[in-house]
Amino acid sequence: MAAKKKGAGGSLNRSQVVTVRLDPKLRYLAELAALKQRRTLSSYIEWAVQESLKNVYLAEGSGYNNDHGCTVHDEGDRLWDVDEPDRFAMLALRYPELLTHDEQIRWKLIRENGYLWKGRYVAGKWKWQVSEDSLIYKRLREYWDKFCAVADGEKENSVLPTWIESEPEDPSPEPPPFPGPDEDIPF
């Protein structure tokens, strides 16, 4: 049996197609640059986008000791995850100013839902801190579609998970009394 020959587009299994409009002059110049680098136009555009990520700053630096800030390239590994809910949470936790209005609504629902966060009872109320370390990502993934549907107005808040907001008065019931020496022990 002959090995299957990998042809053009062999990397499409791991890539996504994006349609881009370029004016005729920019397309022509990009094609020339691709020819010079012995690449396809698609490969050249992908390379150019990767290179540009090194010049887009998510956070401005102090300017001290050449600290110019943090680029999209620098944060790429911290912000990327194969699971959409995890990616969303990391972006919202680190760069909430980049969220769209609709994403801000979703993030507000997530931030205010105690089921998703590690915390403790303080003065009888469940309290948590919104941080990377206190988010329970497994629970976020489990309820992601419901948070999205509520944020989009497709479902009511009642579909979201609930939590015990007030500390239970008696968290552990007392064990039943042990039978005395005169009582029969049922077997």
Q: What is the pLDDT of residues 55-110, one digit of tens each?
A: 999 987 655 655 668 899 999 999 999 999 999 999 999 999 999 999 999 999 99
Q: Which structure tokens are listed for 26?
A: 């920019």
- State residue 178's pLDDT score: 61
- State residue 163's pLDDT score: 92
- State residue 177's pLDDT score: 64
d(CA 27, CA 24): 5
- State residue 66's pLDDT score: 58
Task: Name the residue type at position 141.
Answer: R
Show the low-confidence residues of the chain (pLDDT under 70).
1-13, 61-68, 170-187
- State residue 89's pLDDT score: 98
d(CA 176, CA 186): 14
Residue in this structure with the two tokens 């999209």, named with its chain if needed: 72
- pTM to 2 decimals? 0.73
Encode 80-118 in three state secondary structure. CCCCHHHHHHHHHHHCHHHCCHHHHHHHHHHHCCHHHEC
- State residue 5's pLDDT score: 47
Q: Which structure tokens are listed for 110?
A: 């997530």
Q: How far lies 161's CA from each of 14, 81, 133, 142, 173, in Å?
A: 34, 24, 20, 10, 26
